Amino acid sequence: MGAMLWSLLRAELITYLWRQQDLWVVVAFYLAIASLFPLAVGVEPALLRQMAPGVIWVCALLASLLALPRLFADDHHSGILEQLLLLPLSLSVVVWVRIFCYWLWSGLPLVLLSPLLGMQYGLHGEELLWLVATLLPGTLLLALFGAIGAALTLGARGGGALLALLIIPLCVPVLILGAGALGEALAGGDPMPWYYLLLALLLVALPLAPLATAAALRITVD
Provide the pLDDT confidence category of residue 46 given band limits of 50, 70 and 90. confident
pLDDT at 48 over 90: no
pLDDT surpasses 70 at 160: no
- Domain ranges, residue 23: 2-221
> Domains in the chain: how many in total?
1
Q: Stretch 141-148: mean pLDDT, rounded? A: 93
What's the pLDDT score for residue 50? 87
The percentage of the chain sitting over the pLDDT mark of 90, rounded to a whole number, equals: 36
Top pLDDT among 140 and 4 is at 140
Distances (CA, A) of 121 to 22, 29, 48, 191, 193: 27, 17, 5, 19, 24
Mean pLDDT of 200-222: 89
Check whether 1 has a pLDDT greater than 70.
no
Cα diameter, the chain: 58
- DSSP secondary structure string, the chain? -HHHHHHHHHHHHHHHHTTHHHHHHHHHHHHHHHHHHHHHH---HHHHHHHHHHHHHHHHHHHHHHHTTHHHHHHHHHTHHHHHHTSSS-HHHHHHHHHHHHIIIIIHHHHHHHHHHHHHTT--THHHHHHHHHHHHHHHHHHHHHHHHHHHTTT-TTHHHHHHHHHHHHHHHHHHHHHHHHHHHHTTS--HHHHHHHHHHHHHHHHHHHHHHHHHHHHHH-
What's the CA gap between 145 and 22, in Å, rounded? 20
**Average confidence score pLDDT of the chain:** 85
Q: 128 pLDDT exceeds 80?
A: yes
pLDDT digits (tens, 9 = 90+) for 88-117: 778 888 889 889 988 988 889 999 999 998
- pLDDT score of 159 more than 70: no
- The answer, yes or no, to whether residue 18 has pLDDT greater than 80, is no
In sequence order, which residues have a C-beta less than 8 Å from that of residue 81 and are 6 or more positions away? Answer: 72, 75, 217, 220, 221
In terms of average pLDDT, the best of 31-35, 128-132, 162-166 is: 128-132
Q: Give the mean model confidence (pLDDT) for residues 4-15.
A: 76
Contact 88, 59 (CB under 8 A): no
